[in-house]
Amino acid sequence: MPYGILNVQPSLLPRWRGPAPIFHTVLHGDSVTGVTIMQIKPKGFDVGPILQQELHEVPKNCIADELGATLAVLMDSLKTPSRKDSNRKEQPKNGATFAPKISSRMAWITWEEHSCDHIDRLCRAIGSRIPLKTIWMGNPFKLLDFVKCSVLFPAAPHLSAVPGSVCYKKRIKYPACSLQVSLRMAGLDLKL
Per-residue pLDDT tens over the stretch 2-58: 667 888 999 999 999 999 999 999 999 999 999 999 988 887 778 899 999 999 999
Task: Output the pLDDT for position 124.
Answer: 93
Task: Output the pLDDT for position 76.
Answer: 77
Q: Where residue 85 falls among pLDDT bands split at 50, 70, 90?
A: low
CATH 3.40.50.170 intervals, the chain: 6-87
CATH class label, 6-87: alpha beta
Residue 69 has pLDDT above 90, yes or no: yes
Task: Output the pLDDT for position 65.
Answer: 96
Residue 71 has pLDDT above 50, yes or no: yes
Task: Output the pLDDT for position 140.
Answer: 87
Task: Output the pLDDT for position 13.
Answer: 95
What is the residue-averaged pLDDT of the chain?
78
Per-residue pLDDT tens over the stretch 149-172: 544 445 555 444 444 545 545 554
Task: Output the pLDDT for position 16.
Answer: 97
Q: HEC profile for the chain?
A: CCCCCEEEECCCCCCCECCCHHHHHHHCCCCEEEEEEEECECCECCCCCEEEEEEEECCCCCCHHHHHHHHHHHHHHCCCCCCCHHHCECCCCCCCCECCCCCHHHHECCCCCCCHHHHHHHHHHHCCCCCEEEEECCEEEEECEEEEHHHHCCCCCCCCCCCCEEEEEEECCCCCCEEEEEEEECCEEEEC
Single pTM value for the model = 0.75
